Amino acid sequence: NAGVTQTPKFQVLKTGQSMTLQCAQDMNHEYMSWYRQDPGMGLRLIHYSVGAGITDQGEVPNGYNVSRSTTEDFPLRLLSAAPSQTSVYFCASQRVMTGAHEQFFGPGTRLTVL
Partner 1 sequence: TQLLEQSPQFLSIQEGENLTVYCNSSSVFSSLQWYRQEPGEGPVLLVTVVTGGEVKKLKRLTFQFGDARKDSSLHITAAQPGDTGLYLCAGGKTSYDKVIFGPGTSLSVIP
Residues that bind partner 1 (CB under 8 A): 4, 31, 33, 35, 41-45, 48, 50, 56, 58-59, 90, 92, 94, 96-108
Separation CA 70–CA 21 (nearest Å): 16
**Minimum distance from residue 103 beta carbon to partner 1 (Å):** 7
Which CB atom, from 17 or from 73, has the smaller least distance to partner 1? 73
Nearer to partner 1, 96 or 114 (CB): 96
For residues 26 and 22, what is the distance between their CA atoms, to the nearest angstrom?
A: 14
Which is nearer to partner 1, 58 or 75 (by Cβ)?
Answer: 58
d(CA 6, CA 60): 20
Closest distance to partner 1 from the beta carbon of 16 (Å)? 29
Q: What burial class does residue 58 get, using C-beta atoms within 10 Å of its C-beta: 0-12 exposed, 13-18 middle, 19+ buried?
A: middle
Minimum gap (Å) between residue 70 Cβ and partner 1: 19
